[in-house]
Structure 1
Amino acid sequence: MVSVLVQWLGIASVWAATAVGAEYMKYKDPNQPVGVRVEDLLMRMTLEEKIGQMVQIDRTVATADVMRDYYIGSLLSGGGSTPLPGATATDWVNMVNKFQKGSLSTRLGIPMIYGIDAVHGHNNVVNATIFPHNVGLGATRQVNLSDVYLFRFPTLI
Structure 2
Amino acid sequence: MKAIWGQKMAKVPISWMVLLFMCFWAYMADAEYVKYKDSKQPLNVRIKDLMSQMTLEEKIGQMVQIDRQFASAKVMKKYFIGSIFSGGGSAPAQRASAETWINMVNDFQKGSLSTRLGIPMIYGIDAVHGHNTVYKATIFPHYVGLGATRDPTLVKRIGAATALEVRATGISYVFAPCIAVCRDPRWGRCYESYSEDPKIVQAMTEIISGLQEKKSQLVLNTMWAMVEQPKVSMRTTR
TM-score range, shorter chain: 0.7 to 0.9
Output the CA distance in 1 between the equivalents of 2:32 and 2:140: 49
Structure 1 runs of 4+ with >3 Å offset: 148-151
What's 1:112 paired with? 121
Output the CA distance in 2 between the equivalents of 1:81 and 1:42: 32
Q: What are structure 1's unaligned runs of at least 5 residues?
A: none
Q: What are structure 2's unaligned runs of at least 5 residues?
A: 1-5, 11-16, 165-238
Larger radius of gyration: 2
Q: Residues 137 and 145 of structure 1 are in contact (CA less than 8 Å); yes or no, is this contact kept in structure 2?
A: no
- Letter of the 2:83 partner, please give it: S
What's 2:55 paired with? 46
| From 72, 87, 102, the counterpart of 2:111 | 102
DSSP-derived class of the 1:43 partner: helix
Normalising to structure 1: TM-score of the pair?
Answer: 0.78
Give the 5 Å matches for 1:5-154: 15=24, 19=28, 22-138=31-147, 140=148, 142-144=149-151, 147=154
DSSP-derived class of the 2:145 partner: helix
Output the CA distance in 2 between the equivalents of 1:56 and 1:148: 29
% of aligned pairs identical?
A: 60
CA apart distance, 1:146: 5.9
Q: Residues 76 and 116 of structure 1 are in contact (CA less than 8 Å); yes or no, is this contact kept in structure 2?
A: yes
CA apart distance, 1:136: 3.4
Q: Residues 87 and 124 of structure 1 are in contact (CA less than 8 Å); yes or no, is this contact kept in structure 2?
A: no
Write 1 or 2 for the structure with the bigger share of helix. 1
Q: Number of paired residues?
A: 144
- Letter of the 2:151 partner, please give it: N
Output the CA distance in 2 between the equivalents of 1:108 and 1:148: 40
- Letter of the 1:147 partner, please give it: L
CA apart distance, 1:19: 1.8
